[in-house]
Amino acid sequence: MSKQTRTKIIVQGQGIVLEQRQSLVLGIETSCDETAASIIARYEDKNGNIEAKILSNIVRSQIDEHAPFGGVVPELAARAHVVHLDIIIAKALKEAKLDFNDIDAIGATAGPGLIGGVLVGLTTAKALCAALDKPLIAINHLEAHALTARLTDNVQFPYLMLLVSGGHTQYIEVNNIGDYKLLGTTIDDALGEAFDKTAKMLGLAYPGGPEIEKSAKKGDANRFKFPKPLLHEKRLDFSFSGLKTAVRLAAQKIAPLSEQDKNDICASFQKTVVDILCARTKDALEAFKQTHNDKPLQLVIAGGVAANKAIALGLKQVAADANASLIVPPISLCTDNGAMVAWAAAERYALGVQNDFDFAARSRWPLNDESMKI
């Protein structure tokens, strides 16, 4: 490790006592359609108590660029990251009232994600680290989501995380930094993707999740009965492509669709999703309890779909029924951002982790991969 975190020293009587160690970490996120940079201060006192402060968290969403296409266009995303990333990093430094020399380490998402975007962020981080002689920390985007609850709520290991975003739908046992067990995942579409594709089919705007939630409020959730694939099986996996097809067939049957028809489809779709998530989460909590029966039961939600109020309400009930505490970070930290990357990097940096400049960007990088272990 090229540089250790700075240490504030206080003098107590005759002896010198380490009061706290502080590290300042820059985090860069470019794996999908947000160009983001953030600076985190992480403090650890002599008893191992950890505190964190978000000094800046700048996110530039590319929604306007992708909206006309009804989804993220990888080439456009990568180009927009190239154009904006340096400005976003400069803003993050300015807002934190710091310059590059103050930074102890730089973390960047190295995957999984759209490879063009990941390359932009990771290469930028490598260039900065080489020029400034700072340690590079390659961050797994999923780990960044997984550890956010420790930044916002100081959650202790282990906990169960449900990650529901445009790219992922997973249950992960978060046992420690670098120690993750995948309990279940989607075998086809991610949940956010299912929301986006269903919305597109109904002629709603992108991103589809918030649009479906809005329409669902005005609809009859019991008008359509949609399938709940895999729910009869014991495994903790999801499948959403059958649900999407069922929505398409139902819409075709009653076309042309009135506004009320669309609202009813949205409400029925959302209700089906809530039912699926609640049933699965109940089973996932049960599975988690089997292997951690001596530990408090904690459920953490992450990812953009967590913004959905009907889903949040359903999961709150499931957690209460299971006697589990539910932790949902603020939605601005549930969706993609630089603070979660800076935080994951700060956690790894504190353990002495540093990556070589030949660390490759990865479009796929499961959390339970050997390379995650510390």
Would you tell me which residues interact with ligand KG4 (CB under 6 A)? 32, 165-167, 192, 195-196, 207-210, 213, 303-305, 307-308, 335-336
Judged by CB, which is closer to ligand KG4: 261, or 336?
A: 336
Q: Is the dihedral of CA 200, 204, 207, 213 positive or negative?
A: negative
Structure tokens that stand for 208 in this block: 């589809």
Nearest of 181, 160, 190 to residue 327 by alpha carbon: 160
Measured from the CB atom, is 37 or 305 closer to ligand KG4? 305
Instruction: Classify residue 316 by its DSSP letter.
Output: H
Residue 219 or residue 303: which is nearer to ligand KG4 going by CB? Answer: 303
| From the list ligand KG4, Zn ion, none, partner contacted by residue 272 (C-beta under 5 to 8 A by kind) | none
CB of 32 vs Zn ion, minimal distance in Å: 6
For residue 145, the minimal CB distance to Zn ion (Å) is 6
Tell me which stretch binds Zn ion (CB under 5 A): 55-63, 128-136, 165-173, 235-243: 165-173
Binds 207: which of ligand KG4, Zn ion, none (CB < 5-8 Å by kind)? ligand KG4
> Please, which residues have CB within 8 angstroms of residue 151's CB and are 6 or more apart in sequence?
40, 52, 54, 329, 333, 339, 340, 343
Can you tell me the distance from the alpha carbon of 42 to that of 5, in angstroms, rounded to the nearest whole number?
10
The minimum distance between CB 174 and ligand KG4, in angstroms, equals 17
Q: Which stretch binds Zn ion (CB under 5 A): 160-168, 179-187, 247-255, 307-315?
A: 160-168
Q: Determine the Cα–Cα distance for residues 20 and 142; give it in Å rounded to an integer.
A: 29
Q: Are 198 and 269 in contact (CB under 8 A)?
A: yes
142 vs 322, beta carbon nearer Zn ion: 142
Task: State in angstroms the smallest separation of the CB of 183 from ligand KG4.
Answer: 20
For the record, the structure tokens of 275 come out as: 């039912």
Give the whole-angstrom CA distance, residue 220 versus residue 271. 10
Q: How far is the CB of 12 from ligand KG4 (least distance, A)?
A: 46
Q: Identify which of residues 93 and 163 has a Cβ nearer to ligand KG4 in the complex.
A: 163
- Which residue number, 70 or 303, has a Cβ lying nearer to Zn ion? 303
Q: State the binding partner of 213 from ligand KG4, Zn ion, none, CB within 5 to 8 A by kind.
A: ligand KG4
Instruction: State the alpha helices, DSSP H only, in 39-103.
Output: 63-66, 74-96
As given in the structure block, the two tokens for residue 164 are 């529901």
- With beta carbons less than 8 A apart as the criterion, state whether 78 and 329 touch: no
Does 143 participate in binding Zn ion (rule CB under 5 A)? Answer: no
Please, what is the minimum distance in Å from the beta carbon of residue 164 to ligand KG4?
Answer: 8
Closer to ligand KG4 by CB, 107 or 135: give it: 107
Is residue 33 part of the contact set for Zn ion (CB under 5 A)?
no
29 binds, among Zn ion, ligand KG4, none (CB under 5 to 8 A by kind): none
Within its chain, how far is the Cα of 303 from the centroid?
4
Between CA 210 and CA 194 the distance in angstroms is: 12
**Among 149, 193, 157, CA closest to 173:** 157
* Residue 165 lies near Zn ion (rule: CB under 5 A): yes
Q: How far is the CB of 281 from ligand KG4 (least distance, A)?
A: 16
Cβ at position 293, least distance to Zn ion in Å: 31
Which region among 158-166, 207-215, 226-234, 236-244 touches Zn ion (by CB under 5 A)?
158-166
Give the separation between CA 255 and CA 143, rounded to whole angstroms.
43
Angle between helices 259-291 and 309-321 (to 10 degrees): 30
Q: Which stretch binds Zn ion (CB under 5 A): 236-244, 260-268, 336-344, 366-374?
A: 336-344
Q: How far apart are CA 84 and CA 182, in angstroms?
A: 34
Kindly calculate the radius of gyration of the chain based on its CA atoms and give it in whole angstroms. Answer: 22
How many other β-carbons are positioned within 10 Å of the β-carbon of residue 220?
Answer: 14
336 in contact with Zn ion (CB under 5 A): yes
Q: Residues in the site for Zn ion, rule: CB under 5 A?
A: 165, 336
